[in-house]
Structure 1
Amino acid sequence: MEPILFYLLIINLVTLFIWGYDKQMAKTNGQRISEIQLLLLIFLGGFLGGILGILLFKHKISKRFFLIKFFAVGLLQLIFLRFVLRILWN
């Protein structure tokens, strides 16, 4: 498996796990993951894991401003990934 694909698989699994963990902590009033940390995971490549986390755990789904930031960071991540892949494959 290509290293970049392996990385993307791992970061998306971690993001999905963190999303589920944060949802559980929200239910039990436990120690939460900050929104900036969640958005950082998205920027680092965990966009699909974040989408799955939103859909599976129904977490952050009603937070409109967070969703705007989520998709904005996801778009930045895709632009960044395209830039990096262009450099690596040229």
Structure 2
Amino acid sequence: MTLRSDPQHAGRTAAGRPAAVRFLKLKLLALLLLCALPVYGVATYWSGGGSWLPAAVYALMSVITSALYGYDKQQAQRGGQRTPEKLLHAGELLGGWPGALLAQQVFRHKTRKFSYQLVFWLIVLLHQLFWMDRLLFGGNFLSRHLF
């Protein structure tokens, strides 16, 4: 049996150490680019007299969602009760998608399931569209055309 097919050793080297994240620099660059718009949007909102709450929500939800990924990965390896995908997606939707993206790479978890990744990237896109709308149209375009 190879280590690749053994779920307990997934993401580990032959010596049992955690495997390095492949294409780390490229993935960090992608994360920075994806976070640029929300960070700029939150900073603009905050500097314009808005609340600091969006920044806190993104940070807190990223930590919580990342922890949920770690717990789910641990439970998957042990054969325990898993975290429902709806809960993981809820954390991402509530602002935890940056933490989820990091956790997917660090824990090598939920990266291959197409249906999961589709929903995840739609959530990321939704956040990007929200901040584009907020910055370019004052938040009026989406609300005027969708509701």
TM-score (norm 2): 0.53
Is the helix fraction higher in 1 or 2?
1
The offset of 1:36, in angstroms, is 1.2
Single out whichever of 24-33 and 72-81 deviates more from structure 2.
72-81
> Relative to 1, partners in 2 of residues 1:84 and 1:38: Cα closer, same or farther, differing over 3 Å?
farther
Runs of 4+ in 1 over 3 A off after TM superposition: 80-87
User: Counterpart amino acid of 1:77?
Assistant: H
User: Counterpart amino acid of 1:29?
Assistant: G
Q: Does 1:48 pair with 2:94? A: no
Q: Does 1:17 pair with 2:67? A: yes
Q: In structure 1, the residue corresponding to 2:126 is in which secondary structure?
A: helix
Q: How many residues align?
A: 87
Q: What is the rounded CA distance, in whole Å, between the counterparts of 2:95 and 2:131 in structure 1?
A: 8
The offset of 1:83, in angstroms, is 5.2
User: Counterpart amino acid of 1:26?
Assistant: A
Q: Does 1:32 pair with 2:72? A: no
- Structure 2 equivalent of residue 65 of structure 1: 115
Structure 1 gaps of 5+ residues are none
Radius of gyration: which is bigger? Answer: 2
User: Counterpart amino acid of 2:64?
Assistant: V
The offset of 1:77, in angstroms, is 3.0
Q: Deviations over 1:38-88 (max 9, x none)?
A: 11111110110110110000001111221111101221233345557845x
Task: Among all aligned residue pairs of Structure 1 and Structure 2, give the percentage whose two residues are the same amino acid.
Answer: 30
Q: What is the rounded CA distance, in whole Å, between the counterparts of 2:126 and 2:119 in structure 1?
A: 10
Matched-pair contact (CA < 8 Å) for 1:19–1:53 = yes
Q: What is the rounded CA distance, in whole Å, between the counterparts of 1:11 and 1:55 in structure 2?
A: 17
> Relative to 1, partners in 2 of residues 1:41 and 1:82: Cα closer, same or farther, differing over 3 Å?
farther
Q: What is the rounded CA distance, in whole Å, between the counterparts of 2:132 and 2:64 in structure 1?
A: 22
